[in-house]
Amino acid sequence: MASPRHVPVLLDRVVDLLAPALDEAAAARLGAAPVLVDCTLGLGGHSEAVLERLPGARVVGIDRDPAALALAGERLAAHGERFTGVHATYDEIGEVVADLGLGEVAGVLFDLGVSSMQLDVRERGFAYAEDAPLDMRMDSSTGPTAADVLNTYSAADLTRVLRDYGEEKFARKIAAAVVRRRESEPFTTSGPLVELLYAEIPAPARRTGGHPAKRTFQALRMEVNDELAVLRRALPAAIDVLGVGGRVVVESYHSLEDRLVKQAFTAATRSVVPDDLPFVPEGSEPALRLVTRGSEKADAGEIEANPRAASVRLRAVERVRPSDGPQGRSAARTPRTTHRPDTRGGAAR
């Protein structure tokens, strides 16, 4: 198996945004080590930077990918009990926080989309550069694969997936071709799909907008992992577990993701007081405030060094007063596997 590369996007900016909630002053205010929940742990690049630069903080890393958890555990083992890895999807953040007895947390980070771990390991089937199994599951132990989607979805459903998640202009044409092709030979690897896309997307369109398979592979990945539905549940759950002074930071790479983040943050920071009221009654202020002005982007230098940063949109909010009450922490919880790093350098299972 190939060794994955890992280049965290907007690393310094992310740490700077989280620092006021996780630094020594925050620890003194809380009377305990402030906790960051890294909801998309991946290979642990953002978490490592927080643990190194903010020595009073703890990190709980969530990932649905057991392989990523194991590798991140090895990477962060030197930090001992300051790091805890949890196998879960990030919409389970409320249950994870409750299971660990944390009550409230000081920071939540989402670095959305596909990680270096998945993109750079051929066997995972996320990339279109070489022929590989059409898997694309972030947790390869459960759920349908990309091949299952291609071989079982109707032409109408395939069109919807490609149009909505890939913003593919030729979605209907591609879907019809997929259905025709699978009648003679089911899809199992990426090579035949890439060949089909080259054949179905007109030459002028192939010359713009990057690789012609990019949009289809993105759409299949988002469908296989139910990414937008998970994010839609995760954002309010993350806001709910945030203590006063805590921050939620989100990096998005797709317009639909960023739209959900913007909507969630706008709702959380909007005043319910009528616009024509000359003052805001005490206790009616929004519980959160926007930290970033709109969405922030990577600069040209970072994009040149790390092309994956080109589409990033970063947003952040901060809780400024207590919530009216926990919403979603009362849901039934199921036990999950917790990974603590082995001090000898391995990830305990």
Q: Which residue ranges are tagged as binding site for S-adenosyl-L-methionine?
A: 44-46, 63, 90, 111, 118
The residues pairing with 153 across neighbouring beta strands, listed in sequence order, are none
3-state helix, strand, coil in the chain (%, to 5): 45, 15, 40
- Classify burial at 236, counting beta carbons within 10 Å of its beta carbon; exposed 0-12, middle 13-18, buried 19 or more: middle
Residue with tokens 């990339």: 127
Which of helix, strand or coil describes residue 147? helix
CA dihedral defined by 319, 325, 250, 216, rounded to 10 degrees?
A: -160
Q: What residues form DSSP beta bridges with 86?
A: 62, 338
Burial 96-111 (b: 16+ CB within 10 A, else e): bbbbeebebbbbbbbb
Q: Which of 321, 320, 306, 316 lies closest to 16 in space, CA to CA? A: 316
In this structure, how many other beta carbons lie within 10 angstroms of the beta carbon of residue 47?
A: 28
Amino acid at 150: L
How far apart CA 276 and CA 260 sit, in angstroms, is 28
Residues annotated as binding site?
Answer: 44-46, 63, 90, 111, 118
